[in-house]
């Protein structure tokens, strides 16, 4: 087999030449009314074999016909075969007329040309049909998964061909669905179009479908998510084609297929960013991202670096996460997804170390700072409030002071909906930081802003990774309360809106991101169990553990005294500005520092936080 692959091109060329010669002899035989009465002409044709063979070998070689795959002939290949055959016909005919004494009838050359084209193309397509029938025959005999393809357009038909021809797929396509009325009820690639995408659940259950591929990459994300929800409700395994750009090869098709995720089932809106604003903000800028190893920080780095900043400093206390991010960016650079001019530097350090931060700012000469470093685990911070205050408040104070000292153009702080009427230590520290941002003067050189949003799907410490681990271990899945709801957003969405909000910041704003409709945590757990191929409460149980200290049933995005103003992006709002004096913030910070450094008892720290954040009430 290895030897066959090595000499494949030569073997294909020899096969083509044999077929060309057969075509010429057939042409002469046809011209002589299927008789052999003029043996002299046949002898003359035999003498022309070297000329015909060499001529057509060169013509087919120049047209690169020998490089094509017989398993996937195309219109392009048929065109190249035709052009090469015509070139060969011209040369052979000219040779016969000018260089030989005995001339073949002109009609022989014309018939030969037609036969050469027909035979070369016919053999290739016949071989493909043979392979297709062979694959279909094997699929009928094998125990394959009954499969439905949603979308009978280019992506769907390409996927069907790949499934039939590639044995890596363990599928038997029983039908298509398509929203084109003309296609419904017709056959596509010999397979029936059984209905529209809205019929996905009904068709899947009626036909006992085990796998569904959604092959509609050109429709909107919202539409794809709606189809995903319908398909998912049928209990079949659902996959989605993400795009057609790299579906030219089988490996490309496999790369562009992904399993439908929980994000698809939440039905998020599409987000459209103003690229010109982001370019003006980020291109050729020196940028610092704190907490760069975390879920939000690392995505900030990924998105910022694609706008070709001058440099980006990735600061984090966790060496493992920063190493992984740096390794990912190194791969991007090799793949030419990052300009060679962009400098990205990992730094291991803490925002609590003012002296080290000062040196980083001095060397970095930053234009922008995105501050994502924070302790955010609610239960842990309830147990260790001193650490929450030291890191979230004192650390952020360091960042704010150094931004002013080193003339940073803009600083954006990543906040949370838990800062609204907080019921836990973590939320109270985040709300205090928002106050610090609001207290900064708009007249200063550095413009400060905070961006507030809810839970981020798949982020470190969120319920998604926890549920995945619990499902993988066979359950049970733990939900605190059947009525608990949360706002959710994907990590790329949240970061995209953070960057967009940064373009609007004029100083002291708190931006609030539109989180869509809140989601019941119980519904989330049930969908994740179903996505994993199990039946909730039967295969994997769900148990309720009760609210943990500091938790709420319902998160809020606004305080009572806050209102909202519009921005050019409807998914981003600005809270009404609140008047907070800088002197008050300084006094409260010093009081918190005194309590934390001298007492450190949980009760005293919580009491001090309540004084600094009047809306903080323990749950």
298 vs 245 pLDDT, higher one: 298
Domain assignment present for 346: yes
Percent of the chain whose pLDDT exceeds 90: 32
Rounded CA-CA distance 295/35 in Å is 81
For Cα atoms 193, 199, 204, give the angle at the middle one, nearest 5 degrees.
80
SS3 611: helix
- Closest listed residue to residue 393, CA positions, set 447, 419, 429: 429
Give kind and range of the element (H or E) at residue 325: helix 319-334
Q: Are residues 216 and 305 in the same domain?
A: no
* pLDDT above 80 (res 431): yes
Backbone Cα Rg of the chain: 34
Supply the CATH number for residue 571's domain.
3.40.50.720
Q: Are residues 360 and 493 in the same domain?
A: yes
CB 272 within 8 A of CB 287: no
Rounded CA-CA distance 253/112 in Å is 40
Q: Are residues 125 and 167 in the same domain?
A: no
For Cα atoms 274, 342, 497, give the angle at the middle one, nearest 5 degrees.
25
Domain assignment present for 348: yes
- Which 3-state string (H, E, C) describes 366-377? CCEEEECCCCCC
CB 490 within 8 A of CB 464: no
Domain assignment present for 31: yes
Domain assignment present for 451: yes
- Using pLDDT thresholds of 50, 70 and 90, give the confidence band for residue 354: very high
SS3 477: strand
* pLDDT above 50 (res 247): no
Q: Are residues 321 and 416 in the same domain?
A: yes
Q: Are residues 508 and 374 in the same domain?
A: yes
Q: Are residues 49 and 146 in the same domain?
A: no
Q: Are residues 280 and 255 in the same domain?
A: no
Rounded CA-CA distance 185/187 in Å is 7
CB 379 within 8 A of CB 427: no
Give kind and range of the element (H or E) at residue 363: helix 354-364
Q: Which member of 418, 435, 527, 552 is catalytic?
A: 418
Burial status of residue 166 (CB atoms within 10 A of its CB: 0-12, 13-18, 19 or more): middle
Q: Supply 523's token pair.
A: 């519904």
Q: Are residues 112 and 154 in the same domain?
A: no
Note down the domain range covering 49: 2-134
- Using pLDDT thresholds of 50, 70 and 90, give the confidence band for residue 272: low
Q: Are residues 176 and 113 in the same domain?
A: no
* pLDDT above 60 (res 393): yes
| pLDDT one-digit tens code per residue, 569-591 | 877 888 876 778 888 999 999 99
CB 133 within 8 A of CB 164: no
The domain boundary, picked from 118, 134, 150, lies at 134
* pLDDT above 90 (res 536): no
- Closest listed residue to residue 222, CA positions, set 274, 266, 179: 266
Specify the pLDDT at position 460.
57
DSSP 8-class letter at 416: -
For Cα atoms 481, 483, 485, give the angle at the middle one, nearest 5 degrees.
100
Domain assignment present for 524: no
Burial status of residue 340 (CB atoms within 10 A of its CB: 0-12, 13-18, 19 or more): exposed
Q: How many domains does the chain have?
A: 3
| pLDDT one-digit tens code per residue, 291-316 | 999 989 999 999 999 999 999 999 99
- With residues binned 3-state (H G I as helix, E B as strand, rest as coil), the percentages for the chain, rounded to 5, are 50, 15, 35
Q: DSSP of 187-228, one letter per residue?
A: EETTEEB---GGGHHHHHHHTT--EEEE--TTS-HHHHHHHH
CA distances from 326 to 117, 298, 330 (A): 56, 10, 6
Q: Supply 249's token pair.
A: 């090869």
| pLDDT one-digit tens code per residue, 507-528 | 888 888 776 677 788 888 887 7
| pLDDT one-digit tens code per residue, 52-74 | 999 998 988 888 777 665 555 56
Q: Are residues 291 and 256 in the same domain?
A: no
- Which 3-state string (H, E, C) describes 225-247? HHHHHHHHCCCCEEEEECCCCCC
Indicate if 418 belongs to the active site: yes
The domain boundary, picked from 134, 155, 176, lies at 134
- Closest listed residue to residue 53, CA positions, set 98, 77, 23: 23
Domain assignment present for 549: no
SS3 419: helix
Residue 270 C-alpha from the chain's centroid: 13
- Using pLDDT thresholds of 50, 70 and 90, give the confidence band for residue 244: very low
Q: Supply 443's token pair.
A: 């007249």
Sort strands 488-490 and 572-575 into parallel, antiparallel or unpaired: unpaired
The domain boundary, picked from 134, 163, 184, lies at 134
CA distances from 513 to 35, 54, 278, 510, 535 (A): 86, 71, 17, 10, 34
Rounded CA-CA distance 581/578 in Å is 10
Rounded CA-CA distance 349/292 in Å is 11
Residue 448 C-alpha from the chain's centroid: 32
* pLDDT above 70 (res 246): no
122 vs 223 pLDDT, higher one: 122
- Which 3-state string (H, E, C) describes 547-572? CCCCCCCECCCCCCCCCEEECCCCCE
391 vs 377 pLDDT, higher one: 391
Domain assignment present for 460: no
Domain assignment present for 582: yes
CB 368 within 8 A of CB 301: no
33-37, 110-114, 354-358: which has the highest mean pLDDT? 354-358
Burial status of residue 83 (CB atoms within 10 A of its CB: 0-12, 13-18, 19 or more): middle
CB within 8 A of 427, min separation 6: which ones? 378, 416, 418, 419, 420, 550, 616
Q: Are residues 246 and 386 in the same domain?
A: no
DSSP 8-class letter at 476: P
Q: Are residues 313 and 347 in the same domain?
A: yes
283-287, 504-508, 549-553: which has the highest mean pLDDT? 283-287
174-178, 551-555, 597-601: which has the highest mean pLDDT? 174-178
CB 505 within 8 A of CB 444: no
């Amino acid at each position: 087999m290895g030897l066959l692959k090595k000499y494949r091109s030569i073997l294909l060329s020899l096969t083509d030449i044999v077929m060309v010669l057969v075509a010429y002899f057939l042409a002469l035989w046809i011209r002589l009314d299927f008789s052999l009465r003029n043996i002299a002409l046949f002898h003359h044709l035999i003498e022309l074999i070297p000329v015909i063979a060499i001529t057509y070998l060169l013509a087919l070689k120049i047209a690169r016909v020998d490089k094509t795959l017989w398993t996937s002939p195309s219109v392009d290949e048929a065109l190249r075969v035709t052009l090469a055959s015509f070139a060969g016909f011209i040369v052979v005919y000219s040779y016969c007329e000018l260089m030989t004494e005995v001339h073949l009838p002109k009609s022989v050359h014309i018939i030969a040309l037609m036969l050469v084209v027909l035979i070369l193309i016919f053999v290739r397509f016949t071989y493909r049909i043979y392979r297709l029938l062979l694959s279909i025959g094997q699929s009928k005999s094998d125990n394959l998964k009954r499969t439905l393809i949603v979308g009978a357009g280019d992506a769907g038909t390409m996927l069907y061909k790949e499934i039939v021809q590639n044995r890596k797929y363990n599928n038997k396509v029983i039908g298509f669905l398509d929203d084109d009325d003309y296609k419904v009820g017709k056959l596509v690639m010999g397979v029936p179009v059984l209905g529209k995408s809205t019929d996905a659940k009904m068709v899947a259950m009626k036909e006992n479908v085990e796998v569904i591929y959604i092959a509609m990459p050109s429709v909107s994300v919202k539409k794809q998510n709606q189809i995903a929800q319908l398909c998912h409700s049928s209990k079949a395994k659902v996959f989605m084609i993400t795009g057609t750009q790299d579906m030219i090869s089988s490996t490309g098709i496999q790369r562009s297929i992904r399993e439908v995720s929980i994000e698809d089932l939440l039905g998020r809106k599409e987000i459209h960013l103003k690229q010109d604003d982001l370019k003006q903000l980020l291109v050729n800028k020196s940028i610092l991202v704190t907490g760069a190893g975390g879920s939000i920080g690392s995505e900030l780095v990924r998105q910022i670096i694609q706008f070709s900043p001058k440099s980006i400093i990735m600061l984090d206390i966790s060496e493992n996460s920063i190493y992984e991010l740096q390794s990912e960016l190194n791969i991007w650079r090799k793949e030419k997804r990052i300009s060679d001019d962009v400098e990205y530097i990992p730094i291991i350090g803490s925002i609590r170390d003012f002296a080290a931060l000062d040196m980083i700012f001095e060397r970095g000469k930053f234009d922008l700072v995105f501050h994502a470093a924070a302790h955010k685990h609610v239960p842990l911070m309830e147990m260790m409030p001193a650490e929450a205050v030291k890191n979230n408040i004192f650390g952020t104070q360091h960042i704010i002071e150094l931004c002013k000292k080193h003339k940073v153009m803009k600083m954006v702080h990543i906040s949370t909906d838990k800062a609204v009427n907080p019921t836990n230590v973590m939320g109270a520290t985040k709300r205090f930081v928002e106050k610090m941002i609001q207290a900064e003067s708009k007249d200063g050189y550095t413009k400060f802003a905070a961006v507030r949003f809810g839970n981020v799907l798949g982020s470190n410490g969120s319920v998604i990774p926890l549920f995945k681990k619990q499902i993988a271990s066979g359950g049970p899945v733990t939900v605190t309360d059947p009525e608990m709801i949360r706002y959710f957003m994907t990590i790329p969405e949240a970061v995209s809106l953070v960057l967009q909000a940064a373009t609007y910041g004029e100083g002291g704003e708190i931006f609030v991101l539109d989180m869509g409709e809140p989601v019941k945590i119980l519904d989330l757990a049930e969908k994740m169990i179903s996505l994993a191929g199990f039946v909730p409460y039967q295969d994997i149980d769900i148990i309720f553990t009760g609210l943990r200290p500091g938790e709420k049933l319902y998160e809020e995005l606004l305080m009572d005294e806050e209102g909202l103003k519009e921005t050019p992006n409807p998914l981003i709002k600005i809270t009404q500005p609140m008047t907070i004096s800088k002197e008050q913030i300084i006094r409260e910070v010093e009081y918190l520092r005194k309590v934390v450094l001298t007492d450190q008892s949980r009760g005293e720290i919580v009491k001090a936080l309540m004084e600094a954040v009047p809306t903080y009430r323990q749950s």
